[in-house]
Amino acid sequence: MRNLKKNVILLTVIVLTLFTLTACTANGYRNVSAEEAKQLIDAGGITVVDVRTPHEFNQGHIKNSQLVSIEQVAETAKQWPKDTKLLMVCASGSRSGAAAEMLAEKGYTEVYNLAGGVYQWPYGLVN
């Protein structure tokens, strides 16, 4: 009986762990560091979407990024094929994370979020 309880507890822990891991990756997008984002940009074929306000964007943004306010992401996304590789960016990673999640829910398959936003971007910004 004692072994049965241990096995049930062990099985429960395994199932919960697998469920948690699945839930973490099931959001459909991936948070990336500034270094990973730079590698994605340097490799080419990615659209960098800055969801900040025009004022924030004009103060400095990642080179070649496209300004799409957070309110316009859903509408603008209709222009992008579902397999478009997208890097979502904001000041801190919060708004871009929400945008990335929304895009993933709409079926976009290659969505990345810059964790920490441009505050953590050490590679320089352009005006």
To the query of whether residue 24 is one of the catalytic residues in this protein, the response is: no
* Maximum separation of any 2 CA atoms in the chain, in Å: 69
Contact 108, 80 (CB under 8 A): yes
- Six token digits for residue 86: 């997208």
Integer Cα distance of 119 and 47 in angstroms: 19
Contact 112, 29 (CB under 8 A): yes
Fill in the DSSP letter of residue 87.
Answer: E
Q: Cα-Cα-Cα-Cα dihedral of 65, 69, 71, 72, to 10°?
A: -60
Determine which one of 40, 90, 100, 111 is catalytic: 90
Integer Cα distance of 89 and 99 in angstroms: 9
Catalytic residue numbers read: 90
